[in-house]
Structures are given as structure tokens and as C-alpha cells.
């Protein structure tokens, strides 16, 4: 199993401690840049509890040592590492591999080749 990497934007286009939305394989993906580093997280943009594509507009923070995004709708917190909802353990969002290569933000998908 290998990852195929696809460029979605430049690192400089994402301000520190904010998120942005990228269309990737016909899906909206929320990308978050933590601090001024190259520490990035990618999760689905769709909030399953609020039933809307809004997570990229959420606030990044820390809840008991867990890096999260708070949904702008109902303020539920989703782990940026695992996708689990802190308030409802039955809810989880999809996370995606992400990296920075030469200033380019790239998302990874599993390739069978």
C-alpha cells in the first residue's frame, strides 16, 4: 500500500491557526495549519451533527491535551488526529494524510500501484 500525493494549495496560503477548504476527489476537505509551523491536519469538511460543510470555519484549540476543531454550528469538538467527536463517542469524521513538500500542501490517497 502506497500513498499518491496531490497538491491542493501552497502552505503560505493557509494562515497560522486557521483552516481552509479544498475540493479533493469530489469531496470538501478542511485543512488546518497549527501555529506558524508546517503542522497540518486534514479532515472532512462535513459536520455530521450540524449536517453542513462548515468545519474549515471552526476554531482550532486544545481540550484536555487533545488538538481539536470546534464546529461553528453546535460547538462540538472533533480531534484533528483521530476525527473522534469529544462530546459524542458514536460520531467520528474522516481524517486524511497530509504533508508539506517544498512549500506545497499535499493530500494523500491510497494507491494500489
Fold of 19-99: Rieske Iron-sulfur Protein (2.102.10)
3-state DSSP call for residue 57? helix
Q: How far apart are CA 32 and CA 35, in angstroms?
A: 10
3-state DSSP call for residue 108? strand
Burial class (CB in 10 A: 0-12, 13-18, 19+), 72: middle
**Could you read off the pLDDT of 21-72 as tens digits, one per residue?**
999 889 999 999 998 778 999 999 999 999 999 999 999 999 999 999 999 9
**Could you read off the pLDDT of 17-33 as tens digits, one per residue?**
899 999 988 999 999 99
Domain residue limits, the chain: 19-99
Amino acid at each position: 500500500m502506497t500513498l499518491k500525493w496531490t497538491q491542493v494549495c501552497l502552505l503560505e496560503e493557509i494562515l497560522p491557526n486557521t483552516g481552509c477548504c479544498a475540493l479533493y476527489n469530489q469531496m470538501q476537505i478542511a485543512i488546518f495549519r497549527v501555529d506558524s509551523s508546517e503542522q497540518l491536519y486534514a479532515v472532512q469538511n462535513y459536520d455530521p451533527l450540524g449536517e453542513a460543510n462548515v468545519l474549515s470555519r471552526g476554531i482550532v484549540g486544545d481540550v484536555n491535551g487533545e488538538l481539536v476543531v470546534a464546529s461553528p454550528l453546535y460547538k462540538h469538538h472533533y480531534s484533528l488526529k483521530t476525527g473522534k467527536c469529544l462530546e459524542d463517542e458514536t460520531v467520528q469524521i474522516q481524517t486524511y494524510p497530509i504533508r508539506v513538500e517544498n512549500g506545497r500542501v499535499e493530500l494523500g490517497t491510497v494507491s494500489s500501484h
